[in-house]
Structure 1
Amino acid sequence: MMTSRDFVYTGHPARVIFGSGTTARLPQEMQRLGAQRALILSTPQQESQAQAVAELLGPAAVGLFPGAVMHTPVEVSEHAAAMARRVMADVVVAIGGGSTTGLGKAIALRTDLPQIVIPTTYAGSEMTPILGETSDGQKRTQTTAKVLPEVVIYDVDHTLGLPSELSGTSGINAIAHAVEALYARETNPIITALALEAIGSLARALPVIAQDPGQREARADALYGAWLCGICLGSVGMALHHKLCHTLGGTFDLPHAECHTLILPHALAYNAPAIPEVMARLTTVLGQDPARALFDLGREVRAPASLAQLGMPADGIGRAVDLALANPYWNPRPLERDALTALITRAHQGQPPVV
């Protein structure tokens, strides 16, 4: 007989180093892995940070690939993996946000190289065995232990210069992982506790960062929350929110964190009737109307107000609904075409969520 305490929890092995100035420990972490030849990854915008990592490693930095982009296009992954083989790298060091972490995972999938990740945003994907890659206009995800990073170095110093708007959207993107973990099919008491702690930490920190981006304590709270959100994302399956964001992002090339920020309140409102206990828990950390609280948080951190503002065409709503209904994720509330159309329409127009 099943009881409320019956559950399965899988902990994913990863070494986490958290604090300020922790990037200085990168050479020792390479030595722990027995690695001597690092390929360093970044986006074009963060190439200077990758160069600083290369200087820290000295001769152990054998290559630099500053070509990571959103949604991890397969052609970029293939090009970077070929470079890793050419320079005979024995470890990948990724410094940046979700785009750079995703590229490191894609290389690991193709080469079996170990990964060290130095996050500079609140993406959380560094704590997951999940990889999403885009080809032919669609984003496809897979879960495999081959892409789980071996070491994650959280350095609060790297987040101090993160622009306040990007901090806000990146942080709400992280909150989305924890929110969906609360009602995931595989949820369990450990993940529920981590998720609530993470949501509360980020919800407190993000408005402070929006007003004072250099506030170190708030930055530490946000990075701590993002780490916990990443554990949630990597431990249980996701639902409607992530399906919609992958569909919208991959199909219309929308910015990842901003898309998550816009969709989360609406996806939570959609599922609210089916998850009363989760809504009660969220009320303890977000307030009386959790979906509206998340919508208001987006405005407080000055996130884009609508999918239209991100560049999604109005005539794409029907296509997005069709794709969301094709091979749908598990979700606590059945997916209904009319309700999904209304959800995406509200997000497209920047309207508040409706339960």
Structure 2
Amino acid sequence: MMKGSFVYQMLPARVVFGRGTIAALPAEAERLGLRRLLVLSTPEQVGLAERVRKFLGDRAAGIFGLATIHTPIEVTKQALELVAAERIDGVVSAGGGSATGLGKAIALRTDLPQIVLPTTYAGSEMTPILGETQDRRKTTQRSPKIQPEVVIYDVDLTLTLAPLMSALSAFNALAHAVEALYAPDSNPIVEMMAEDGVRAIVAALPKVLKEPTNPEARASLLYGAWLCACCLGVTTMGLHHKLCHTLGGLFDLPHAQTHAIVLPYALAHNAPMVPEAMTRLCRAIGSDDAAGALLRLGHDCGIPLALRDIGMPHDGIAYAIEQALTNPYANPRPIEVGPLSNLLERAWAGAGL
């Protein structure tokens, strides 16, 4: 049954979804009136950036291929120097969350239009949220300037994403929907997108692992990730995202792996306080134990199951708790040292729920 009054903020993003949609890039640039575009990528994705430049032709003014994890401010400053020197009027972010994050950081400071070509399922392209790091601390902010104008989802660009990275990225997407279901500003529209997004990802992920180049399975996974990202863009983040941002900033942990490990523990931590959200998650996942099902799915995907496995030191738990208690995100369960310490100890050791 539909709830009573609610507020749903639609985000002004244009989405092009399908196979071979990278070919729409020149027309989208024309629609935005862009003539001097800077293509952004990580060093590993420079090949894709070169391909994007060829599609753009004389609309491409250059490539900046130094995007990196957690969007360090010093890298953004380097990119801004090129933006000024080349009189850039827009950016094309080609790749995963690192490239998208750099495009957002540039747009925040310049208000330049963004076109994003995602190659993963992380979902940053659908949000007005930017996380940046400086001096081992990651901060997040929201702004209309951060929201990309155009997102081109090309299923073909995901076909070569390694199965393990696909799974890690998909768990990142799942986290967006999970927290959106019990966010204080959730609403029936978000609940509908979150539940369908989780259902699509959980159903498609095993198929992608078995047949990585199966375009139908990849399309379903990308569709689910898109829905989950839409949820993140219009709701408040909770304890799970606070922990992941804190751990990533403090210990330079890989973003997707951190999400994948922490998610079942954070969900189990909050579950007693959010029965309605748990009902939706269990229905979407097809299990009476949503947190346990996610932990088993991670195991089946070969995902690292402990924070210690991805480089977090045990003596960092106390420091992480201290940072997580600073400006905590809204969460259905009060943030207290004892339960939080237990959560992180178990996630660090991969001790199970």
Deviation of the 1:305 alpha carbon: 1.7
SS in 1 for 2:61: strand
Matches within 5 A, 1:239-318: 239-286=238-285, 287-318=287-318
Deviations 1:199-240 (A, max 9, x none): 000011111111221111110001001111111010111100
Residue of structure 1 equivalent to 2:337: 337
SS in 1 for 2:94: strand
List gaps (5 residues or longer) in structure 1: none
- What is the rounded CA distance, in whole Å, between the counterparts of 2:270 and 2:126 in structure 1? 26
Aligned-partner residue type, residue 74 of structure 1:
I
SS in 1 for 2:39: strand
- What is the rounded CA distance, in whole Å, between the counterparts of 1:100 and 1:351 in structure 2? 34
Aligned-partner residue type, residue 17 of structure 2:
F
Conserved 8 A contact 1:127-1:149: yes
- What is the rounded CA distance, in whole Å, between the counterparts of 2:328 and 2:307 in structure 1? 21
Equivalent residues, number: 351
List gaps (5 residues or longer) in structure 2: none
Residue of structure 2 equivalent to 1:82: 81
Deviations 1:108-157 (A, max 9, x none): 01111100000000011101001110001000000000010000000000
TM-score, normalised via structure 2 length: 0.98
SS in 1 for 2:262: helix
Residue of structure 1 equivalent to 2:230: 231
Deviation of the 1:4 alpha carbon: 3.5
**Greater shift after overlay, 343-352 or 175-184?**
343-352
- What is the rounded CA distance, in whole Å, between the counterparts of 1:58 and 1:281 in structure 2? 47
Residue of structure 1 equivalent to 2:108: 109
SS in 1 for 2:16: strand
Deviations 1:31-57 (A, max 9, x none): 000011110000000000000111111
Matches within 5 A, 1:116-155: 116-155=115-154
SS in 2 for 1:206: helix
Over the residues paired in the alignment, what is the CA RMSD in angstroms? 0.9
SS in 1 for 2:87: coil
SS in 2 for 1:75: helix
SS in 1 for 2:288: coil
- What is the rounded CA distance, in whole Å, between the counterparts of 1:269 and 1:305 in structure 2? 15
SS in 1 for 2:139: strand
Matches within 5 A, 1:183-198: 183-198=182-197
- What is the rounded CA distance, in whole Å, between the counterparts of 1:186 and 1:285 in structure 2? 21
SS in 2 for 1:93: strand
Identity %: 55
**Greater shift after overlay, 80-89 or 29-38?**
80-89
- What is the rounded CA distance, in whole Å, between the counterparts of 1:206 and 1:218 in structure 2? 8
TM-score, normalised via structure 1 length: 0.98
Conserved 8 A contact 1:306-1:347: yes
Residue of structure 1 equivalent to 2:20: 21
Superposed structure 1 runs of 4+ greater than 2 Å apart: none
- What is the rounded CA distance, in whole Å, between the counterparts of 2:317 and 2:154 in structure 1? 40
Conserved 8 A contact 1:132-1:142: yes
- What is the rounded CA distance, in whole Å, between the counterparts of 1:296 and 1:248 in structure 2? 23
- What is the rounded CA distance, in whole Å, between the counterparts of 1:314 and 1:209 in structure 2? 34
Deviation of the 1:85 alpha carbon: 1.4
